[in-house]
Amino acid sequence: MLGKGNWRCIDGAPNGISIDQLPDNFVVRFPLTRIDARGAYYYEGQTVNSSGYATGWLVSNLPDNECAAKISPVTRAEIDQLIGAGNWQCLTEYPTGVIVANVTSGFVVRSPILYVDKDDRRYYKGETLPGGGPDTVWFPLPISKSECP
């Protein structure tokens, strides 16, 4: 359906998968219940009208998955240390993400970050981002509003 090596499990989301490249005109079908792509939600039976990276939600937990099931919430201090104070803001419509004004060249994705969306590509833990911004950084749990700058 999605192709071997085209998706990964997500820490803290045992029923979620990160999709690297969604096929054109992809129809959401079992075992997926929803696809999140380019700021829109697509449910079972609907056709996703955009390709590229996406997040998929399964009807049940992914069996034998290597991702951590339990994660601790992230704090402003942790995000400041990773990204830089004054360089990010919370996404109100997506409470697990932050928009970063400018990622420094050579930035390596690491925990507690799940992945970073930049220039129509998704970067995972251990991968190095090119410099510049803006970029969207995703964490496994919602960031408390009290932790947002």
Given a cut of 80, whether residue 69 has pLDDT beyond it is: no
Among residues 25, 20, 26, which one has the least CA distance to residue 6? Answer: 20
DSSP 28: P
The 10s digit of each residue's pLDDT in 97-114 is 999 999 888 899 998 999
- What gap in Å lies between CA 32 and CA 23, rounded to an integer? 14
The 10s digit of each residue's pLDDT in 13-36 is 899 999 999 998 999 999 999 999
Enumerate the domain spans of the chain. 7-58, 76-147
Distance of CA 135 to the CA centre of its chain: 11
Question: Is residue 143 within 8 Å of 96, Cβ to Cβ?
Answer: yes
pLDDT reported for residue 98: 97
pTM assigned to the model? 0.79
Among residues 120, 76, 126, which one has the least CA distance to residue 98? Answer: 76
> Across all residues in the chain, what is the average pLDDT?
92
Per-residue confidence band for 115, with pLDDT thresholds at 50, 70 and 90? very high
Strand partners of residue 57: 16, 34
Where is 106: in which H helix or E strand?
Answer: none
Which of 42-46, 131-135, 139-143 has the highest mean predicted lDDT (pLDDT)?
A: 42-46
Residue 116 phi, psi (nearest 5)? -130, 130
Q: Which two tokens stand for residue 137?
A: 């950084």
Given a cut of 90, whether residue 132 has pLDDT beyond it is: no
SS3 141: coil
pLDDT reported for residue 86: 94
Among residues 136, 11, 120, 5, which one has the least CA distance to residue 72? Answer: 11
